[in-house]
Chain A
Amino acid sequence: MSFDVFTPAHRIATEIREGGLSAETVTGAFLARIDKVNPVVNAFTDVTAQRALEQARGIDLARAAGKALGPLAGVPFAAKNLFDIRGLPTKAGSKINRDRAVATRDAALVERLTAAGAVLLGGLNMGEYAYDFTGENAHDGPGRNPHDPARMAGGSSSGSGAATAAGLAPLSLGSDTNGSIRVPASLCGVFGLKPTYGRLPRTRSFPFCDSLDHLGPFARDVTDLAMAYDLLQGADPEDPHCAQLPVEPTLTSLQRGVGDLRIAIAGGHFSTEGMPEAEAAVAAVARGLGTTRTFELAGAGIARAAAFLITNAESSTFHLDRLRQRADDFDPETRDRFLAGAMLPAAWYVQAQRARHWFHDEMLKVFADVDLIIAPATPCPAPRIGQKVLELRGETVPLRPNLGLFTQPVSAIGLPVAAVPVFGMGLPIGVQIIAAPWREDLCLRAAFALQKAGVCEARAPGL
C-alpha cells in the first residue's frame, strides 16, 4: 500500500481510525523513509524500530477489537535526545552522557503523546547540552538541512527541525532555552511552538538552564501543532516549575481568524534592515495578518543580554563537575563557553535576573495595547555548515550567538511564540508570532490563518 509520508498527522490518525490505513503500514513507511533519508540529514541518533512496530501492531489489534483509539493513534513522532526514552541513555547531544544508566521511564511529554496513541520512532540529534544555535555536533555529526544538506539545520533542536521537514516524523518534540525550537523551525521551514515558560512539564528531560528551559512541539501543519500541544498540556506533580493550570485547548479556536486581534510589527532590536530574506518574510506575514502597524520594542537588547548571562551562569554551574573531570570529552564549541560561564561573577547573574523581571513588566504594558507581535525568527536562512561568521547590518559578527539575536529576548521572559515558515525564492526562513503569557491560542490562530492563506507552509524538500 503506498503512503505519502508528508500526510498531515491529523489525517493519518483519521485514516487509521477509519480503517483506510493500518498503523503498522504507517510506521513501516516512516522507518523505511528514515533508512533512506537519515543518512543525508542526520536527524535521528537512535531509532526505536522494534518498540514502534510493537506499538503500531497493538493499535491495529485494538482497532480490530473495536476499542477506542487515542486522538493520535498510529501517528509517528520523535523526540530530541534530551528527552528520556525508556531503554536509552539520555545523551543530550553529549559524549559524556552516554555513560549514564539507561532511562527506566519515558519523559513526561513522550508519555503524554504515547498515551494519545502516537508512536515513538526514536531520539533526535541536537547541539551538545542544548548550548547551540547551529545544529553542529562534534560527537554525532551536524544536523543537515533537508532543503540543502550542505547547510545547517539550526539548533539546538536540529534533529527535530530536520526530521519534521524531511518527512521522517510528522511531529517532533524539542526544547527552547534561547531559540532552540524557533531557530531550527526557521532554517528547516516548519512550524514550531514555544509555549509560555512553565506551561509544559520538563519531567525526565535533561536540563540546560532552569530559568529559561521550555519544551514544545514541531509540525508541518498547524492543526497538527495545535493537536500535539493540547495533548502535551497539564501540570505534572514531579515538576515544580510547571504552572498549576488546567488544560486550555487551542484546537477549538484555531479557525476563528485574526480579525478581532490587534497585531503589530516589532521594530528597534527586531529591525530587519539589511536582512533581505527576513525583511521579506516579516512583510509577507504582516500582509497576511492585515497589519502595517510598527512599534519600537524597547529593552529587547537588555533582555537578550540578560538571557545570555543567565544561560551562561546556570548551565556552566550545572556542568561544573563534568568540566573539572572530563573537559576533553565536551564538544570544543560548547566547552569553552561553559568554562567561561563557570567563572561569571554572581553580581552579573543576579543583575541579569533583575533585568529580566524588568523587561517582563515592560512587555506586559505593551500587551495592554497589542494582542500579537510579529518579529523575525532568524536574521538569515540556513548558513552553510561550518560557517563561523555572519554579515549583519553591514558588520561581520560571530554566527553562533547571532542566530539567536531575535529569539533570545522573547524566551528571556517566557512569552509564547509560534514560529511560522515562509518560503521565498529559495530557502525557508521563519517569523515569530508572539503573544502575552498563556495566550498560545492566539499564536496558533494566527499561524493557522497564515497557513490557510498560503503565506506560510512547510514545503516538502526534494529528498
Chain B
Amino acid sequence: MSKSDAGGGFDAARHLDAMAPALGLTITAEQRPVVLQFIAIAQAMSEIVRTAPLDSASLELAPVFRPGAPRGDAS
C-alpha cells in the first residue's frame, strides 16, 4: 500500500454503510455510534502500522500453515 492510499479520506460511516449489508450484518441505531467509534480506532491503528519501514519487496506473513498436518476433531 502506498502512503497515498489511505488516511485522511477515510469515512467510517460510509465504510459501515457499504460493508454491513455486504456482509449480512445488521447494525442497530443503538450499536451504530459505538461500532463507528471502533472502526475509527482501527483506522487510527492502521495509520500507525503504515509507519513501519517495510521492505517493499517482501511479503512474509506470520500465520502457520503446515500442509499435510492431521486436523483435530472440532467437536
Stretch in A11-19, A179-187, A235-243, A417-425 touching the partner? A235-243
CB-based contact B52/A340 at 8 Å: no
Contact code string A366-377 (vs B, CB < 8 Å = 1, else 0): 000000000000
Which of B31, B51, B62 contacts A302, CB < 8 Å?
Answer: B51
CB-based contact B62/A341 at 8 Å: no
CB-based contact A327/B64 at 8 Å: no
A315 to chain B, nearest CB (A): 12
A333 nearest in chain B by CB position: B34
Stretch in A52-60, A349-357, A432-440 touching the partner? A349-357
A316 to chain B, nearest CB (A): 10
A348 to chain B, nearest CB (A): 4
**Which residues on A sit within 8 Å (CB–CB) of B49?**
302, 305-306, 309, 348, 351-352, 355
Within 8 A of B (CB), among A194-234: 198, 203-204, 210-211
A211 nearest in chain B by CB position: B63
Contact code string A294-310 (vs B, CB < 8 Å = 1, else 0): 00000101101110110
Please, how many angstroms separate the alpha-carbon atoms of A238 and B73 in the complex? 8
**Which residues on A sit within 8 Å (CB–CB) of B52?**
299, 302, 306, 351, 354-355, 358-359
B43 nearest in chain A by CB position: A348
Within 8 A of A (CB), among B1-60: 1, 5-6, 15-16, 19-20, 23-27, 31, 34-36, 38-39, 41-43, 45-46, 48-54, 58-60
B73 to chain A, nearest CB (A): 8
**Which residues on B sit within 8 Å (CB–CB) of A350?**
61
Q: Is A115 an interface residue (CB 8 A)?
A: no
**Which residues on A sit within 8 Å (CB–CB) of B59?**
354
Within 8 A of B (CB), among A387-403: 401
**Which residues on B sit within 8 Å (CB–CB) of A308?**
41-42, 45
In the complex, the number of residue pairs spanning A and B with C-beta atoms less than 8 Å apart equals: 127
CB-based contact B20/A356 at 8 Å: no
Please, how many angstroms separate the alpha-carbon atoms of A104 and B72 in the complex? 13
CB-based contact A353/B63 at 8 Å: yes
Q: Is A335 an interface residue (CB 8 A)?
A: yes
CB-based contact A340/B39 at 8 Å: yes
**Which residues on A sit within 8 Å (CB–CB) of B45?**
305-306, 308-309, 348, 352
Q: A residues within 8 Å of B by Cβ? A: 101, 103-104, 198, 203-204, 210-211, 237-241, 299, 301-302, 304-306, 308-309, 312, 320, 323-324, 327, 335-337, 339-345, 347-348, 350-360, 401
Q: Can you list 23 contacts pairing A with B, beta carbon distance less than 8 Å? A: A103-B75, A204-B72, A210-B63, A240-B69, A302-B49, A302-B52, A305-B45, A306-B49, A308-B42, A309-B46, A336-B31, A340-B36, A340-B39, A341-B42, A343-B23, A345-B46, A347-B46, A348-B42, A351-B49, A352-B46, A353-B63, A354-B52, A354-B58
Q: B residues within 8 Å of A by Cβ? A: 1, 5-6, 15-16, 19-20, 23-27, 31, 34-36, 38-39, 41-43, 45-46, 48-54, 58-66, 69-73, 75
